[in-house]
């Protein structure tokens, strides 16, 4: 009989006061971390819903699940594996290797990453992760749940998975908007604007596309341009002269004109 588990990317649920996975006093029967030792504070965690109910910890679980929206750090796995067996299974995929033999952390508890992985990995690679599962549901940016494809394969792949250069490039491309938003958060840690919403993603996606279409690369200038887009509450993207300004070859003049245009449409102005 299948059990239901919650997989939580603890870096995507804000900063909850109660972090039961970091306690050293005793081992919890309803919760398991995927990282060990020094990585535990930022480790993805697994929660056994039935055990949490038996231990009277459902309130704590729901606090974590509902800590932040959209719930891109929350997904649900149905499998016949026990909590410990599921922990052991997922730990195989904490890292992947590149063709250059580099190790990269695979953030498979992030729903946005999972959606990209289900497309970028080969059928055998994806099957090696999901074959033991009956269902895996993730949250989309719109807040709705959707099911990932569950594939079964007879191929036996050893961990860590080896991703070729094309797969790495595809993943980077798929996550480029998220990376842009992450860089914006780092630039403005005290900014009250919520960069995790669907609206924010759409602003960043449009900014990235128009920037690349103008022949530029993903650099610091792109970050500054995206900052201007947010400061204008997206109105900068609607300016008829924007394309002409972006196509200017002189970066100093381009930045000056963009900043001026954004200033005319400051949020709240």
Task: Sketch the domain layout of the chain as residue ranges.
Answer: 3-174, 176-263
Instruction: Give the N- to C-terminal CA distance of the chain in Å, as an integer.
Output: 58
Q: What torsion do the CA atoms of 33, 35, 40, 42 make, to the nearest 10 degrees?
A: -100
| Contact (CB, 8 A) for 226 and 207 | yes
CA 232 to CA 239: how far, in whole Å? 11
| Contact (CB, 8 A) for 106 and 93 | yes
CA 38 to CA 243: how far, in whole Å? 47
Tell me the pLDDT of the chain (269 aa) as tens digits: 899 999 999 988 877 777 888 877 568 899 999 998 788 888 999 999 999 999 999 999 999 999 888 899 999 999 999 999 999 999 999 999 999 999 999 999 999 999 999 999 999 999 999 999 999 999 998 899 999 999 998 877 888 999 999 999 999 999 999 999 989 988 887 765 678 888 999 999 999 999 999 889 888 999 999 999 998 889 899 988 899 999 988 889 998 888 888 777 665 44
- Widest distance between CA atoms in the chain: 65
CA 11 to CA 72: how far, in whole Å? 10
Q: For residue 78, what pLDDT is reported?
A: 98
Q: How many Cα atoms within 13 Å fall on the side-chain side of residue 1?
A: 1
Q: For residue 28, what pLDDT is reported?
A: 87
CA 262 to CA 240: how far, in whole Å? 13
Encoding tokens for residue 9? 């990317």
Question: How are the residues of the chain apportioned to helix, strand and coil, as percentages rounded to the nearest 5?
Answer: 45, 15, 40
Q: For residue 140, what pLDDT is reported?
A: 92
The DSSP call for residue 99 is T
Q: For residue 268, what pLDDT is reported?
A: 44
| Contact (CB, 8 A) for 262 and 226 | no
Q: For residue 267, what pLDDT is reported?
A: 52
Angle formed by the axes of helices 220-231 and 251-263, to 10°? 10
**E strands in 125-182:** 133-139, 145-147, 161-163
């Amino acid at each position: 009989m299948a059990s239901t588990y919650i997989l939580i990317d603890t870096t995507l649920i804000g900063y909850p006061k109660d972090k039961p996975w970091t306690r050293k006093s005793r081992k919890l029967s309803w919760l398991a971390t995927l990282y060990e030792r020094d990585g535990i504070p930022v480790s993805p965690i697994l929660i056994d819903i039935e055990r949490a109910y038996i231990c009277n910890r459902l309130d704590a679980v729901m606090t974590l699940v509902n800590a932040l929206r959209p719930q891109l750090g929350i997904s649900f796995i149905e499998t016949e594996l026990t909590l410990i067996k599921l922990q052991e299974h997922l730990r195989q995929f904490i890292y992947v290797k590149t063709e250059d033999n580099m190790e990269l952390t695979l953030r498979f508890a992030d729903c946005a990453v999972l959606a990209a992985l289900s497309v970028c990995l080969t059928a055998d690679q994806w099957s090696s992760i999901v074959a033991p599962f009956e269902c895996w549901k993730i949250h989309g940016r719109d807040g709705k749940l959707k099911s990932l494809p569950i594939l079964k394969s007879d191929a036996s792949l050893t961990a860590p998975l080896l991703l070729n250069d094309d797969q790495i490039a595809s993943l980077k491309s798929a996550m480029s908007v998220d990376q842009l938003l992450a860089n914006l958060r780092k630039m403005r840690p005290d900014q009250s604007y919520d960069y995790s919403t669907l609206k924010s993603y759409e602003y960043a996606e449009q900014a990235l596309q128009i920037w690349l279409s103008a022949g530029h690369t993903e650099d610091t200038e792109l970050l500054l341009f995206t900052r201007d887009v947010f400061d204008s509450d997206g109105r900068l993207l609607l300016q008829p002269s924007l394309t002409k300004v972006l196509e200017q070859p002189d970066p100093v003049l381009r930045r000056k004109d963009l900043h001026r245009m954004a200033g005319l449409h400051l949020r709240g102005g």
